[in-house]
Amino acid sequence: MTDYRDLTLQGIWKNNPALVQLLGLCPLLAVTATFINGLGLGIATTMVLIGSNVTVSLVRNIVRNEIRIPVFVMIIAAFVTIVQLLMNAFTYELYLALGIFIPLIVTNCAIIGRAEAFASKNSPAASAYDGLVMGLGFTFVLVVLGGMREILGAGTLFAGADRLFGNIASNWTLTLFETDSPFLLAILPPGAFLGMGLLIAFKNMIDARIAARETTVKEKATRVRVTADA
């Protein structure tokens, strides 16, 4: 029996592919100049992750151990091609904006990592769920980083939402402030590295707070028992 609660927690927080495993950093840092680009790549990666996880899990008992990695890569490549064609058909402008980073999802270590570490050892249903939460965890970081960089760099949020959601979203862009000299650093790659570092630091800070609270609770509990024994 798979513990779905634990899987969720692992994917979104404890073992987040971007913040903890630090996998798939190349697309993460390259495309997160805006919120919508981050969301688009996040959704694409999640779709590939679910598809590849289910397929790998289905063939896990057929594929010989020695050749499993090439097989996994081919499965992932097939799903990336599917997603790429879908985006080309339905979200053409986003497809152009993300450019080379859609085909590069094949090389995203987060995906082959999950195929190897989880899907090749678990049932299709559990693997699908793992792909979903891992993808959501990855998307979450992409979106937060993209939002941060877009606000700092351009003063807007949700710019280009119509690329992903169609014409309804054409007026979703929020302009927080107007500037003649945008903070280019946030949009350039160094800004992605700095933003990523700050996000990781922020996550570690929250974890440290939680850990500190848990230890104080435990200490109190032991003291109570000691007094009771005496």
Partner 1 sequence: MKLTLSSSPHQRVKRDTGQVMRLVIYAMLPGIIAQSVFFGWGTLIQAFLAVASALVFEGIILWLRKRPIERTLTDYSAILTGLLIAISIPPTLPWWMTITGVFFAIAVAKQVYGGLGFNIFNPAMIGYVVLLISFPAAMSLWLPPQHLASLTPSFLDSAALIFTDFSTTGYDVTQLRTVADGVADGVTMATPLDTLKTDLTLGITYSESLLRPIFSTGLFQSAGAGWGWVSLSYLLGGLWLVRLKVISWHIPGSMLASVAVFSLLLYMIDADHYASPLFHLINGAVMVGAFFIATDPVSASTTQKGRIIYGAAIGFWVVIIRVFGGYPDAIAFAVIIMNMVVPLIDYYTRPRTYGHQVTKKARRSE
Q: Which residues bind partner 1 (CB under 8 A)?
A: 181, 183-186, 188, 190, 194
Distance CA 144, CA 228 (A): 49
Q: Shortest Cβ distance from residue 92 to partner 1 (Å)?
A: 32
Is 117 or 188 the residue whose CB approaches partner 1 more closely? 188
Specify the residue, 73 or 194, whose C-beta has the smaller distance to partner 1. Answer: 194
How far apart, in whole angstroms, are the C-alpha atoms of residue 87 and residue 110? 21
**Nearest distance from C-beta of residue 195 to partner 1, angstroms:** 12
The residue among 172 and 183 lying less far from partner 1, judged by its C-beta, is 183
Closest to partner 1 by CB, 77 vs 152, is 152
Considering the complex, state which of residue 186 and residue 192 has its C-beta at the smaller distance from partner 1: 186
CB 149 within 8 A of CB 34: yes
CB of 194 to partner 1, least distance (A): 7
Residue at 69: amino acid letter: I
Sign of CA dihedral 151, 28, 197, 204: positive
As measured in angstroms, the least distance from the Cβ of 190 to partner 1 is: 7
CB of 35 to partner 1, least distance (A): 20
What 8-state DSSP symbol labels residue 123?
-
17 to 79, 81, 112, 186: CA distances (angstroms) = 19, 22, 12, 23
Q: At how many degrees (to 10) do helices 124-154 and 109-117 cross? A: 160
What torsion, rounded to 10 degrees, do the Cα atoms 215, 221, 227, 230 define? -100
